[in-house]
């Protein structure tokens, strides 16, 4: 649908890699990840309200001990809500086809890794600004914290970060 929208001129997806310059491609990738993380944090947190949780998000949380399959276990209304971000963003931010594909790939791989249930990579520097499996495992076990997608800054800023996470 999104790529067809590009053919119709509805989206801002473009094919000439140099149209906006190579730096813009990198910047647009990072910008969209930051915007997607923000959108995800607030929608995810809102979906944990009791009435909405039952309708939109309970299916995903059936996995208290997540697995890679959990990363694909979304109720259809929630999947549509999250897909809406991508539909809107390609109408607002010009993105090269490859950047758009890298965003989809990053989103998919990040989600799978975050649902492993164990840390794939050890972090000897204790630089926990990126969400990893341990961070998201706490979310599946406690439900009322750790709502982000890629980064922990919204959880830190808004008080939904587990106080024991960085220890």
Q: How far apart are CA 54 and CA 57, in angstroms?
A: 6
pLDDT at 167 over 90: no
Average pLDDT of the segment spanning 146-154: 92
At residue 12, the 3 state secondary structure works out as coil
Residue 125: predicted pLDDT? 55
Share of the chain above pLDDT 90, in %: 46
H/E stretch holding 91 reads helix 76-92
Average pLDDT of the segment spanning 113-139: 77
Q: Where are the domains of the chain?
A: 2-158
Decide: 31 and 102 in contact? Cβ < 8 Å.
no
Residue 100: predicted pLDDT? 97
Average pLDDT over the chain, rounded to an integer: 85
Residue 119: predicted pLDDT? 78
Average pLDDT of the segment spanning 76-90: 91
pLDDT at 9 over 80: no
**More confident call, 40 vs 72:** 40
pLDDT band per the 50, 70, 90 thresholds, residue 104 = very high
- Cα 123 to Cα 1, 156, 166: the distances in Å are 39, 18, 11
pTM, to two decimals: 0.88
Question: Would you state the structure tokens that stand for residue 105, as one six-digit string?
Answer: 């790939």
pLDDT at 5 over 70: no
CA 97 to chain centre: 19
pLDDT band per the 50, 70, 90 thresholds, residue 57 = low
Residue 137: predicted pLDDT? 79
């Amino acid at each position: 649908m999104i790529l067809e929208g590009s053919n119709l001129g509805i989206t801002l997806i473009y094919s000439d890699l140099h149209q906006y310059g190579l730096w813009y491609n990198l910047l647009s990738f990072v910008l969209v990840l930051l915007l997607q993380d923000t959108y995800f944090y607030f929608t995810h947190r809102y979906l944990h309200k009791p009435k909405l949780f039952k309708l939109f998000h309970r299916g995903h949380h059936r996995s208290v001990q997540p697995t890679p399959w959990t990363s694909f276990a979304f109720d259809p209304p929630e999947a549509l809500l999250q897909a809406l971000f991508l539909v809107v963003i390609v109408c607002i931010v010009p993105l090269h086809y490859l950047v758009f594909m890298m965003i989809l790939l990053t989103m998919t791989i990040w989600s799978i890794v975050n649902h492993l249930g164990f840390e794939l990579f050890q972090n000897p520097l204790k630089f926990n600004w990126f969400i990893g499996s341990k961070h998201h495992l706490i979310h599946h076990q406690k439900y009322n914290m750790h709502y982000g997608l890629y980064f922990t800054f919204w959880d830190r800023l808004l008080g939904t970060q587990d106080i024991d996470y960085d220890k």
